[in-house]
Amino acid sequence: MAEAVISEAHGLFSSDLPPLPENRIVVGFGMVSVDYVAIVDAFPKPDEKVRGRSLQVFGGGNAANALTCASRLGLTPKLITKVGDDSLGQIALAELEADGVDTSLVKISDGGTSTSTYVIVDKQMKTRTCIYTLGVPAMVPDDLPKTKLVSALNEAKLAYFDGRSTKPALVVAQEAARMSIPILVEAERKKAGLASLLDLATYIICSEKFPQAWTSASSIPKALVSILLKYPNVKFVIATLGEKGCVMIDRRTPGEDPHLDAIDVDSLTESLKLRIDENVTTPTLVTSESSVRLRADGIGTLYGKLLLGTAEKIPPSEILDTTGAGDAFIGAVLYALCAGMPPEKMLPFSCQVDN
């Protein structure tokens, strides 16, 4: 399903999008796995047996999924990761290569095992539960020869990190930063080493729970303000909200009046929500003015533009599986950044692709 929807979205938007630049290379670092996706009528209770409606086996992992989406949209992605020389690794790499993802930077571990994930899709509740087993041995900085890394990044327009394997990821990010390559970091949950990656980020995309967990702010909008204040080099931060769409703060320069009264970011968010037309099924966007002074009480103020994007409304009967939707959103953002798309076009486009 994801494959068909991504292709459809590209066709729907192609006439409105700016042309891609000549350099379409994106270097991504992160997880690749093989997913076993079982669809059940209802999630089993402890010690209960249920009958699966179907079982599919295909490649997965945050970075692998995002780069696959980017490739299908027209980019030229290269993946840095590590797999074992087992059958699972062979399945994952073959699928990536078939989708146009360059796997020449993948480290293959002799005698190692590859990451795998069991995904249980609950048709009744429209949820998916993931149980993953990490591959061994884990990737380490020594797995990345300096000359090969520099050669790969030398041609890159963007570098993307899914927030995993932070020690070797930091080696790649530091080299990308040294070469002035913009860096997009996915922040899904708190983990050791993530702060060092965020210090180098140009763009941040968060899961719904991450902003408040990271900042202890009382709301997501306040948390996004806190993140932008903590990381002054970050141009925008987005929190994905599943079926509720997404919220974004795009850092802006001060407006004509630098002494403009600050607007409470929570109040502004609520006022923008009132402008959303609930009858529209396609992704829509409501925004603040181009540059406003956003205030988060107890945290601080900054100049930015607040944007709320809605997700496409899909009838429950047509929803098969939400696995990889967030990864597709990131793949679309990578495309938008390479194409020079402004946030006002990027968010509706990315929300369409992730469905």
Give the other-Cβ count within 10 Å of 261's Cβ.
8
Q: Report the CATH number that the domain containing residue 341 is assigned in CATH.
A: 3.40.1190.20
Which residues does residue 136 pair with via DSSP β-bridges, in sequence order?
113
Domain presence at residue 55? no
Place of tokens 């061994």: 136
Domain presence at residue 39? no
Domain presence at residue 290? yes
Domain presence at residue 340? yes
pLDDT of the residue at 314:
57
pLDDT at residue 6 is higher than 50: no
Domain presence at residue 114? no
pLDDT band at 255; cut points 50, 70, 90: low
Question: What are the tokens at 186?
Answer: 């996915």
pTM: 0.90
- Round to whole Å and give the CA distance between 273 and 211: 19
Is 160 in contact with 26 (CB distance < 8 Å)?
Answer: yes
Which is nearest to 238 in space by CA: 223, 257, 253?
A: 223
- Round to whole Å and give the CA distance between 216 and 292: 24
Tens-digit pLDDT profile for residues 43-52: 999 999 999 9
Domain presence at residue 54? no
Is 202 in contact with 177 (CB distance < 8 Å)?
Answer: no
| For range 163-177, the mean pLDDT | 97
Instruction: Give percent of the chain with pLDDT exceeding 70.
Output: 90
Strands 116-122 and 107-109: unpaired
Which is nearest to 255 in space by CA: 247, 267, 263?
A: 263
- Which amino acid would we find at residue 90? Q
pLDDT of the residue at 324:
55
pLDDT of the residue at 339:
94
- Round to whole Å and give the CA distance between 213 and 220: 10
Question: What are the tokens at 122?
Answer: 């609950």
More confident of the two residues 319 and 130: 130
Boundaries of domain holding 272: 2-31+61-83+138-353
Tens-digit pLDDT profile for residues 185-218: 999 999 999 999 999 999 999 999 999 999 999 9
Domain presence at residue 266? yes
CA atoms within 13 A of residue 120's CA, in its CB half-sphere: 15
Radius of gyration of the chain (CA): 20
Domain presence at residue 37? no
pLDDT of the residue at 22:
85
- Round to whole Å and give the CA distance between 81 and 303: 37
Instruction: Give percent of the chain with pLDDT exceeding 90.
Output: 77
Count how many domains the chain has.
Answer: 1
Which is nearest to 96 in space by CA: 32, 185, 169, 37?
A: 32
Q: Look over the chain and give the mean of its residue pLDDT values, rounded to a whole number.
A: 90
pLDDT at residue 79 is higher than 50: yes
* Residue 53 exposed, middle or buried by CB count within 10 Å (0-12, 13-18, 19+): exposed
